[in-house]
Amino acid sequence: MRLLTHNFLASNVKGVSTGYPLALEVAKTSIKEVELNVDFLRGILPKIDWRALFAATSAAGFPELLAAEQPPEAELFAEGAADVEGSAIRRLHHALLEIHVEEGTLVCPDSGRSFPILKGVPNMLLHEDEVNMLCQ
C-alpha cells in the first residue's frame, strides 16, 4: 500500500464520526522506484492531507523525509527542482509513490478498530455488526 493510498482511506465503522486519518502501524516496508511525474504531483497535492502524510511517513520509518509543514508550492515546483536529488518535490514523490507498506495495521482514530495490511493490501472489510444498514 502506497502512502498515497493511506492518505485517502477512512474507517466506515458504524457510529464513527470521521474515521480519518487512520493511524498507521508498520511492520514491513519496501521501496519500489517509480518515474517522477511532476504534473501528477501538482494535480494531487491539493487533495493531500499533509499532516496525515507526515505522520504516515514517520510511522513507516522515514521521520525526516518530509517537513512537518507543507512547503510552499513555489519551492516544490520551482524550475529545475525535479532534477535536484533531495529536493522537496523528490522527497514528496518518494513519500507518496515509492514507499510501500507491505505488512502492518491501520487503526481507526474514533473506534480503535484495526484493519490489517497483508502483502501490501489493506483489508477494510467490516463485520456485519459494524455496517450501517441503509435498507432494512
pLDDT tens digits, 88-109: 999 999 999 999 999 999 999 9
In which element (H, E) is residue 121 found?
strand 121-122
The closest of 118, 105, 89, 79 to 9, measured between CA atoms, is: 105
Per residue in 56-71, pLDDT (tens digit) is 999 999 999 999 999 9
- At residue 130, the pLDDT reads 60
For 106, list phi and psi in degrees, rounded to 5. -105, 135
Confidence label for 135 from pLDDT (cuts 50, 70 and 90): very low
CB 129 within 8 A of CB 29: no
Single-letter amino acid code for the residue at 88: A
Tell me: pLDDT of 133 over 70.
no
Boundaries of every domain in the chain: 1-120
Per residue in 14-31, pLDDT (tens digit) is 888 899 999 999 999 999
Architecture of domain 1-120: Single Sheet (2.20)
Average pLDDT, the chain: 93
Confidence label for 136 from pLDDT (cuts 50, 70 and 90): very low
